[in-house]
Amino acid sequence: MDLEFSAEERAFREEVRAFLEARLPRATRDKVLAGRELGREDYLEWQRRLHERGWGGVNWPVEFGGTGWNAVRQFIFEEESALAGAPRLIPFGLKMVAPVLMAFGSAEQQRRFLPKILSAEAWWCQGYSEPGAGSDLASLRTRAVRAGDHFLVNGQKTWNTLGQFADWMFCLVRTDPAAKQQSGISFLLIDMKSPGVRVRPITLLDGTQEVNDVFFEDVRVPLANLVGEENRGWTYAKFLLGHERSNIAGIGPAKRELKRLKRVAQEERRNGRPLAEDPLFAARLARVEIDLVALEITNLRVLSAEGAARAPGPEASILKIKGTEIHQTLSELFVRAAGEYALPLRREAMEAGWQPDHGQAAGPAYASTVMAAYLNQRKLSIFGGTNEIQKNIVAKMAGL
């Protein structure tokens, strides 16, 4: 792989930078760069602006309304977006259910759902994990029973990310309880406004309500919302999980946070010297940067494979493992840099002007979010399939 960007690719990078400078809302950018929470409208407004530019589907083929960009252009766009402070593209519609619909959905499903994902008219969420069915996803128990021209769905999903914002859910359900676990699962598209759907927020360690329990009680789902064939949902789920694990790597955001951490390490003083000159801290900083460079190259290889219409292989699991470890390491180093000022748990406390008991200043501005980020990112090595499970997948697919 040629790691040097061509003149055309460098020109494209400048085009992306100019667009970000002109169209990225300043209030949204400031929230992202300060590590503060974004609201539903922040994400949707950014997707609308991308769609207006014709960049709504950066990883989509042209025939479905996407950019048709190759792996390098996608990488450049996502890197520059992250560095500029753009919101992450919510992956559930754009990068998870959309590829499934393109590969396995009917023409009617493609016409009905894909344009609204691009235009931000529909927010999607994922219905995979259940109590007792996380990494062992094939043991899921949510049932869907045929009843005339629809399914009746009953059960519960958990760790549902941002479902409180969602219009639609792509959901794995059991349609043949007598079949072997993987063989009796189907892939349904569920309107979150349907009678019988109830969303219950889960409060996380950092005080946010990012995830939810979702309950289904006799929810009617039209047969037309079945993707592909009944009882073949596990095939589509594996396809989707490969894309999810690729996306979890988060190269652009990691590069942005590494850059910010380096700046903090130069500004923070320990015993009269910059923290960046502390041998132990400097060594950990260097190690995470080396890991990030290696991960970046692997990510480009996976994107190239997707561009050649090959489903992600064991590399997707490698991206998931190393990407989440890097993000967790960066969050830990931010806490170490902040020292005592990382103690407040809730973002709101620092943003409201919290003062330590000893009456000193509340510390540097960046410290207001580091503990919340550290606690939140403990989950990264669990969701999308635990890192331990991913190592088993790599060993099996590589024939080890």
Q: What is the pLDDT of residues 368-384, one digit of tens each?
A: 788 888 988 888 888 77
- Catalytic position from the list 230, 244, 268, 306: 244
Q: Are residues 57 and 183 in the same domain?
A: no
Q: Are residues 211 and 302 in the same domain?
A: no
Q: Are residues 374 and 273 in the same domain?
A: yes
Mean pLDDT of 210-222: 97
Closest CA to 241 of 64, 99, 397, 394: 99
Q: Are residues 225 and 150 in the same domain?
A: yes
Report field, pTM of the whole predicted structure over 0.85: no
Which residues constitute the domain of residue 25?
A: 7-89
Count CB neighbours of 196 within 10 A: 13
Residue 345's pLDDT band (cuts 50, 70, 90): low
- What sign has the CA pseudo-torsion 55, 61, 62, 63? negative
* Total number of domains in the chain: 3
Would 210 be classed as within a structural domain?
yes
Separation of alpha carbons 387 and 96, rounded Å:
20
Q: Are residues 220 and 255 in the same domain?
A: no
Catalytic annotation present for 244: yes
Q: Are residues 259 and 387 in the same domain?
A: yes
Would 305 be classed as within a structural domain?
yes
Q: Are residues 218 and 256 in the same domain?
A: no
**Is residue 177 within 8 Å of 184, Cβ to Cβ?**
yes
Residue 359's pLDDT band (cuts 50, 70, 90): very low
For residue 167, what is the domain's CATH number?
A: 2.40.110.10
Residue 110 has pLDDT above 90, yes or no: yes
Q: Of residues 34 and 9, which shows the higher confidence score?
A: 9
Per-residue pLDDT tens for 293-343? Answer: 999 888 777 766 655 555 556 777 888 899 999 999 999 999 999 888 887
Mean pLDDT of 218-238: 95
Residue 283's pLDDT band (cuts 50, 70, 90): very high
The two tokens of residue 287 are 């190690």
Q: Are residues 280 and 214 in the same domain?
A: no
Would 261 be classed as within a structural domain?
yes
Closest CA to 57 of 80, 39, 78, 72: 78
Q: Are residues 76 and 18 in the same domain?
A: yes
Strand 273-274 and strand 269-270: the pairing is antiparallel
Would 103 be classed as within a structural domain?
no
Token pair 């840099």 is at which residue?
Answer: 337
Q: Are residues 222 and 256 in the same domain?
A: no
Query: What is the distance of C-alpha 194 from the center of its chain?
Result: 26
- What sign has the CA pseudo-torsion 23, 25, 28, 29? positive
β-pair partners for 150 = 147, 222
Would 199 be classed as within a structural domain?
yes
Separation of alpha carbons 366 and 259, rounded Å:
13
For 124, phi and psi rounded to 5 degrees?
A: -105, 155
